[in-house]
Chain A
Amino acid sequence: MSSSGTVHEALGACAGCRRRSWLLSALSVLLDFRAQDRARLDELLSLDDRDLLRSLGGRRQSELSARYEALSTEQIAEAPGVEAVCRHHSLYPRALRDDPASPWMLHVAGGRRRLALLAGAPVVAITGSRRASDYGVEMAHTLARGLAASGVTVICELADGIASAALAGALEAGGPALALPGNGLGVRWPTTKRPLYASLLRSGCALSELPHDCRGRRWGAVAGERIVARLAGLVVVVEAEEKPEEMALARAAGARGKTVAAMPGRLTSPLSSGTHALLVDGARLVRGAQDVLDLLYPLAPARRSSRGAVAEPGIPGLEPMLARILALVGTGRDTPDRLIEPGEDPAKALLALSELELMGLLGRGAGGRYVPRHPAWALEGAAGTHAAPDTLTAATQGI
C-alpha cells in the first residue's frame, strides 16, 4: 500500500487507513445495495480505495474522489473513549492481519491494548437466531459464562436473541468479550441494550470499522460477520433457523476452515432447524462449555469419553422433593397445572417451585413457564446471598 507509512504508535492508525474508514462511511449507502450478496460485499471490501471508488462511485465518483483527496486526517479523529488501531499497528489482531478482506482499521471502545490481549486468547464466536427461545437464551448464556470463566474470549455480533444472551453471560463471568455492533461506536444504542454496553466496556471491547457516528445500515452487520469469522477460532451456533441470514456466520467460518460447532435442540422446533442442518453437515455437537474447551484443547478420545461434558441433572444435596420437581420441569412439565397431580396438595409443588426459583435452579420464561437454569447459577447465588441451600431445603420438611 502506498500510504502504509510509519504508524505513530500513540495515534493507532496511519493516515491511509483513516481515509479508508472515512471512505467506507461515505460509501455506506452504496455498499448497502450490495449487502444482499455476501460474496460480492467481501470482494468489494477487499479492493483498495481507488478501485472501490471506481466500482461504487458511479455518477458521484469524481465528487467523492475530490473529497477523498482533500481529506485531512484531523477530520477523522477519534471520539473520546474510542481508540483506533490500523493494520500497520503492532497491536492489530494477528488473525486479521494478512487478509485483504479484513478491515484496514478498527475503532475500539475499551482500548486497543485490551483488544490485543483478548484477541490473543482463544476466541470463540457464539451466534444464533435473533428470535431465540428461552432454551436458546439459557444455553447461550450458560455457554458463554462457562467459556469466559475458563479464560476464553467470547465474540459475538451485537444483535437480539442468542448474541445478546451470550454477551451477557460472558460479561457476568467477568468477561473477556468482544462485540461488533455493526454501526459506528457513537451511534445511539437501543435503550434495552445500554446496560449491556456499559458492562461490556468494563471488561471487553466493542469494535467497528466505521467512523464514530456512521450508521452501518444492513451491510454493517454483514461486514461485522466477516470480522467475527476471522477473529474466532471456533464458531458455536446455539439455536438458529435454516435461513441464510442466521447461518451466514457459520457458513463463512466453515468456508475459512474454522471449526463449526452446534448445539442440538428439539427436532420438532423450527428454531433449531439450522443447527440440526449444520450437525448433519458435519458440525461438531457441543453440549456445553466443557465440550467447546475439549474442541479447543483436544484430548485423547479415551479420556474425553470418560467424563460428562454437561453436569448431571442431579444436584448434590438437593432435597428429594425438590429434585423430583426439578427433574419433572426438565422433562417439560413446566407449569403448576402439569406438575400437580389431581388430588395432590398443590401447596407442596408450589412451595418446591418457589424454593427452586429462590435457589436459582429455576427461572421464569415466556408465558411464565418454569425454565431450568444451569446449576452454576445456583451455586453462585447461594454463596453470594448467604441463602444456604440447606436452610431452604429444610423448609419443606415442616410440611
Chain B
Amino acid sequence: MLARAHAFTIDGLRTRHVNVEVDVRPGLPAFAIVGLADTAVREARERIHAAIRNSGYEFPNRRITANLAPGGFPKAGPGLDLALACAVLAASGQIPAVGLEDTALFGELGLDGSITASQGTLAVAGATRRAALDKLILAGTRVHEAQLIPGLHVAVAESLTSAVRVLSGGEPDPTPSRASRLRARGCERPSLLDLSEVSGQHNAVRALVISAAGGHNCLFSGPPGTGKTMLAQRMPSILPPLSRNEALEVAQLHSAAGEPIEALSSVRPFRAPHHSITAAGLIGGAQRGWVGEAALAHRGVLFLDELSEFARPTLEALRQPLEDGRVSIVRARHSAVYPTRFMLLAATNPCPCGHAGDGDRCSCSEAELARHRRRLSGPLLDRLDLLVDLHRETTSEGRLGSLESSEQARRRALDARERQRSRLRAHGIGLNAEMDAGALREHVRLDGRGEAMVSAARRRGLLSARGESRLLRVARTIADLDGVDRVRTRDIGAALALRPYATDTERSVA
C-alpha cells in the first residue's frame, strides 16, 4: 500500500519541498530509503523503527521502500523523520492517509516517539505557506518561529502519538509558554549597551555615529584598553531598528543557521567572530547550507576585532560580500547565494606591540611596522570609509565624560538616514555608503573651496580615486547629520581627518 506525506529540506537558504512516498508490500522485511538521502536521513530508519514501536504502533514486518521525491537533489538533516514515520503508519493502514494530504510535517524523532524541533523552522514555515499547504505540525520549542509567518495554521505535537491525533483531526498539544521555553534554552536577550557608558574618546564616538548614519565601514586603531571593542559593541544601540521585512529576512538566515528565534527582533544583528575563523566560516560553505558570519551579519554589523590577526585569505574572501552585498558560493556539486549587506566594523592595534603613538612605549622595529601595515593595507583597507585612531587618555581628559547617549545618537542617525532615503529614492538605494558615481555627482556638489581641498588632497597623494568617492560619501553623511542639504567645506575637512591614511613613516622610503 502507498502513502504520501509532505516535508521540507533545507539547502542553504532555499527550502525545498519533499514528497515522502512510502510503499509497504509483502516480501522479506527491509526498510530502504531512496532519493539522495544523506547520513542523517538514512539513520532515520533506526529512529523511526524504535519510535513507532515505543509509541504503541506496529512497525510493519514487510518490505518498506521510502522515496524522497524529487530524487535529483540531496536531502539533508533529521527534519524528515516525522514525515517518514507518519507515511509508514499510513502505508501500513494504521492511520488514515487523508490527513497527510494537506499537512506538512517537520521534526526529528526520539527513540521514545518524542518530537524534537530541527533547525530552519522559520524557513520551513515560510515554504509551507508558499506551497499552499494548510497546516504545519512541529515540536513546541520552535513553534514561535513558525508563528511569525502570517496565515499559517501551526499545530504543536510533542510526540508521534500527538502528531497522529492531530492528523486524524484531534486537538494539538498546548503551546509552551515563553518562560518555559526560555528556561529550556537558557537564553535571555542581552540588554543593549549604551554609548553614555563611554567616557572620553569623543572623536571616535562621533565617527561611530557617522558610520551608523551613513552605513560606512569603519576601522578603529589604537593601543589595547582604549575602548575599541567597547565602542564597537555599542554600535547596534545607535542603529535604526529593522523594518518588518528586514527582520523577517534576518530571522530566516538565523533560523537556517540553527539559532532559536524567539520573535521578530528589530535589533540589528551584531556578529563578532574570533580571528581564528576560516574563510568558509566567514562567508559560508555550500555543503549543508552552512551560513557564514557575513550572512548572519546581514542588515547588521560584522565586527572584526584584532583585524591584523585574521588570516589573509579570510579577509580577502570578504571582498565580494562587501562589494556586492551578497556572496555566491559554488562547490563541486552545490551552490548557494547568501545576502551579506552588513556594515563592517574593525579594530586593530596600530602596531604589533600595540603601543605605537603611545609615548616611547612602542618597541616595534621598522620592518615589523612595515609588515603590520602590509597586512592591513591590502584590498580590505581600500574598502573602509573611516579610520579612527584612539589614544590613551591622560587623567585630565578622563573627566571628559560621555559625549551623548545612545538614544540621542540613534535619533540623529535616524534623521540622517531619513534624509538620505528621500534623496536617494530615485537611485533605488537608501544609504550614502551605497552611492555610485552618478549619485555622487548629483548629490555631492562642492563649492569652490571644498573642490580646492579635494584636488589639493589628490595632488598631494593623500587620496586615490576610490578614496575620493569614499571621502565624498562620508562628507555627505556628516552634512546629513547636521541636517544640511549642501556639503560644506567643514564636512570635507572632517571627512579628510577621518580618512584611511597611510602613516608618514612610509615617507622615509619615498
Q: Do A and B come from one complex?
A: yes
User: Could you list which residues of chain A lie within 8 angstroms of chain B, going by C-beta atoms?
Assistant: 130-131, 133-134, 137-138, 141, 160-161, 164-165, 168, 172, 190, 192-193, 195-196, 269-271, 335-338, 340, 342, 346-348, 350-355, 357-358, 360, 363-369, 371, 381, 385-387, 391-392, 394-396, 398-399
On whether the beta carbons of B397 and A391 are closer than 8 Å, the reply is: no
Highest count of chain A CB atoms <10 Å: which of B200, B400, B490, B491: B490
Specify which chain B residues have a CB less than 8 angstroms from the CB of A371 in the assembled complex: 504
Specify which chain B residues have a CB less than 8 angstroms from the CB of A346 in the assembled complex: 202-203, 206, 494
On whether the beta carbons of B508 and A164 are closer than 8 Å, the reply is: yes
Specify which chain B residues have a CB less than 8 angstroms from the CB of A192 in the assembled complex: 366-367, 370, 509
On whether the beta carbons of B366 and A350 are closer than 8 Å, the reply is: no
Any A CB within 8 A of the CB of B462: yes
Specify which chain A residues have a CB less than 8 angstroms from the CB of B493 in the assembled complex: 347, 350-355, 395
On whether the beta carbons of B206 and A137 are closer than 8 Å, the reply is: no
Any A CB within 8 A of the CB of B330: no
Known contacts A350-B494, A350-B496, then 7 further A-B pairs from the complex at CB < 8 Å, ordered by chain A residue: A131-B365, A134-B505, A165-B508, A168-B509, A337-B400, A354-B492, A365-B357
User: Could you list which residues of chain B lie within 8 angstroms of chain A, going by C-beta atoms?
Assistant: 200-203, 206, 221-223, 350-351, 356-360, 362-367, 370, 387, 389, 391, 393, 397, 400, 447, 449-450, 452-453, 455-457, 459-460, 462, 478, 488-494, 496-498, 501, 503-505, 507-510
On whether the beta carbons of B391 and A369 are closer than 8 Å, the reply is: yes
On whether the beta carbons of B510 and A387 are closer than 8 Å, the reply is: no
Chain A binding surface, main DSSP class: helix
On whether the beta carbons of A168 and B510 are closer than 8 Å, the reply is: yes
Specify which chain B residues have a CB less than 8 angstroms from the CB of A340 in the assembled complex: 202-203
A-B contact count (CB 8 A): 172
Q: Which of B202, B447, B457, B507 contacts A358 (CB 8 A)?
A: B457
Q: Which of A271, A338, A392 contacts B360 (CB 8 A)?
A: A271
Contacts A/B (CB < 8 Å), 16 sampled: A130-B366, A141-B507, A168-B509, A193-B509, A269-B359, A271-B360, A337-B203, A346-B494, A351-B497, A363-B504, A363-B507, A366-B357, A367-B358, A371-B504, A385-B456, A392-B456
Known interface pairs A160-B367, A335-B203, A365-B505; A351-B494 also in contact (CB < 8 Å):
yes
Known interface pairs A367-B350, A395-B453, A398-B449; A337-B490 also in contact (CB < 8 Å):
no
B381 to chain A, nearest CB (A): 14
Specify which chain A residues have a CB less than 8 angstroms from the CB of B389 in the assembled complex: 335, 367-369
A59 to chain B, nearest CB (A): 37
Closest 8 CB pairs of A and B: A367-B357, A351-B493, A368-B389, A387-B456, A354-B496, A160-B366, A395-B449, A366-B356
Specify which chain B residues have a CB less than 8 angstroms from the CB of A398 in the assembled complex: 447, 449, 488-489
Highest count of chain B CB atoms <10 Å: which of A160, A348, A364: A364
On whether the beta carbons of A355 and B453 are closer than 8 Å, the reply is: yes
Known interface pairs A357-B496, A366-B505, A368-B357; A399-B489 also in contact (CB < 8 Å):
yes
Residue of A whose beta carbon sits closest to that of B458: A385
On whether the beta carbons of A161 and B366 are closer than 8 Å, the reply is: yes
B24 to chain A, nearest CB (A): 73
Known interface pairs A161-B366, A364-B501, A365-B503; A196-B509 also in contact (CB < 8 Å):
yes
Specify which chain A residues have a CB less than 8 angstroms from the CB of B503 in the assembled complex: 364-366, 368
Q: Which of B200, B365, B459 contacts A160 (CB 8 A)?
A: B365
Highest count of chain A CB atoms <10 Å: which of B351, B362, B457, B510: B510
Residue of A whose beta carbon sits closest to that of B350: A367
